[in-house]
């Protein structure tokens, strides 16, 4: 019998395997399995998260400029801190690339990183470099969160809401993958997402019971909330506003249901959160569903047949 591969086990099975072999300590307030870890120090606490972007898997140099890639790499990490209700303060950047990569490309990459960091006041404070056959970026973000919000606090009766944009980046990827360079709004969002950086701290201050950023798709990521909170989540498809650019791409791709981009598309780095029933949602947040007893995520009371979102090793 052949040995099981990581593709067969899947990303989250692999995460569970790794978590089962890790220890913990009194310094670890929230460990692996959330958007960011929450760590205690001698004079306070901090939240920290890491993400890796690999050329050909997460970006293409013929689709995006170096500055676009720098902004996207940083945004993915700032978004994880945002999803804990925090604000990033510092980043560590590990960079690997082939030796024939132009120096000017790297300079533009760093410029894009700095531009995105400036949106929240964070600074790049160190990192590492190595050679590789393609460009690889691994970034660790650190930040402050007055009240870290995890994935595990949702309760039956809570309202489900989102902040930011859903479906636009995925539609942009769909357009680019077919050789199109329009609609511009969708293509630009795939290249450089715009996470709602103010929405995370606002949700935490409003008493959000759980929160997550949407990197792999709304259904997939809400599935993590449902699993961590031991609840079910049902979404109302009529609650979503589908942007014109998303509808345009859906039509150009042969009549694809535009709601699929909204429910299963990632890379917009929007936020999804749950709030107690009756809570007045902060500005920029829109109610899209309800938390119920049970398990899993449904749309209008039924499983969604269009998939759930991005999967690694597929």
Known binding positions for substrate: 58, 267
Residues contacting residue 193 through CB under 8 Å, at least 6 positions apart: 72, 75, 76, 79, 169, 267, 268, 269
Query: Which residue positions form the known binding site for ATP?
Result: 127-128, 151, 215
Instruction: Mark out the alpha helices in 118-217 (DSSP H runs).
Output: 168-177, 184-191, 199-205
Taking the C-alpha atoms of residue 214 and residue 271, their distance in angstroms, rounded to an integer, is: 6
Instruction: Mark out the alpha helices in 22-97 (DSSP H runs).
Output: 66-82
Taking the C-alpha atoms of residue 122 and residue 125, their distance in angstroms, rounded to an integer, is: 9
Cβ atoms 304, 298 nearer than 8 A: yes
Using CB atoms within 10 Å of the CB of residue 125, give its burial: 0 to 12 exposed, 13 to 18 middle, 19+ buried: exposed
Query: Which residue positions form the known binding site for Mg(2+)?
Result: 35, 50-51, 80, 128, 213, 216
Q: Which residues of 300-311 are buried (b: 16+ CB within 10 A; e: fewer)?
A: eeeebeeebbbe
Taking the C-alpha atoms of residue 218 and residue 83, their distance in angstroms, rounded to an integer, is: 14
Taking the C-alpha atoms of residue 285 and residue 164, their distance in angstroms, rounded to an integer, is: 8
Ramachandran sector of residue 7 (left: φ over 0; alpha: ψ -120 to 50; beta: rest): alpha
- CA distances for 20 relative to 26, 31, 33, angstroms: 18, 12, 11
Query: Which residue positions form the known binding site?
Result: 35, 50-51, 58, 80, 127-128, 151, 213, 215-216, 267
SS3 51: strand
Count other Cβ atoms within 10 Å, centred on residue 256: 17
Residue 34 per-residue DSSP state: S
Q: Are strands 44-54 and 136-144 parallel, antiparallel or unpaired?
A: antiparallel
């Amino acid at each position: 019998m052949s040995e099981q591969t990581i593709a067969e086990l899947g990303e989250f099975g692999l995460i569970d395997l790794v978590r089962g072999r890790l220890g913990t300590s009194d310094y670890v307030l929230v460990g692996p399995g959330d958007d960011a870890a929450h760590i205690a120090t001698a004079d306070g606490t901090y939240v920290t998260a890491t993400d890796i972007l690999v050329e050909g898997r997460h970006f293409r140099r013929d689709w995006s400029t170096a500055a676009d890639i720098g902004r996207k790499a940083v945004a993915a990490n700032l978004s994880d801190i945002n999803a804990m209700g925090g604000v990033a303060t510092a980043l560590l950047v590990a960079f690997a690339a082939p030796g024939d990569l132009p120096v000017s490309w790297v300079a533009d990459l760093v410029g894009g990183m700095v531009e995105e960091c400036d949106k929240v006041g964070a600074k790049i404070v160190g990192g590492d470099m190595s050679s590789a056959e393609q460009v690889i970026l691994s970034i660790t973000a650190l930040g402050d969160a007055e009240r870290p919000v995890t994935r595990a606090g949702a309760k039956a009766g809570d309202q489900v809401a989102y902040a930011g944009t859903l479906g636009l980046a995925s539609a942009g990827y769909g357009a680019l993958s077919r050789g199109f360079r329009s609609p511009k709004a969708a293509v630009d969002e795939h290249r450089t997402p715009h996470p709602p950086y103010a929405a995370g701290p606002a949700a935490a201050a409003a008493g959000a019971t759980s929160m997550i950023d949407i990197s792999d798709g709304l259904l997939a990521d809400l599935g993590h909330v449902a699993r961590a909170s031991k609840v079910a989540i049902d979404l109302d498809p009529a609650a979503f506003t589908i942007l014109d650019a998303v509808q345009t791409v859906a039509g150009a791709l042969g009549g694809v249901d535009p709601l699929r981009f909204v429910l299963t598309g990632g890379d917009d780095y929007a936020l999804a959160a749950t709030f107690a029933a009756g809570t007045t949602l902060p500005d920029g947040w829109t109610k899209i569903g309800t938390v119920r007893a049970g398990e899993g995520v449904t749309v209008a009371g039924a499983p969604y047949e269009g998939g759930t979102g991005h999967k690694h090793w597929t």
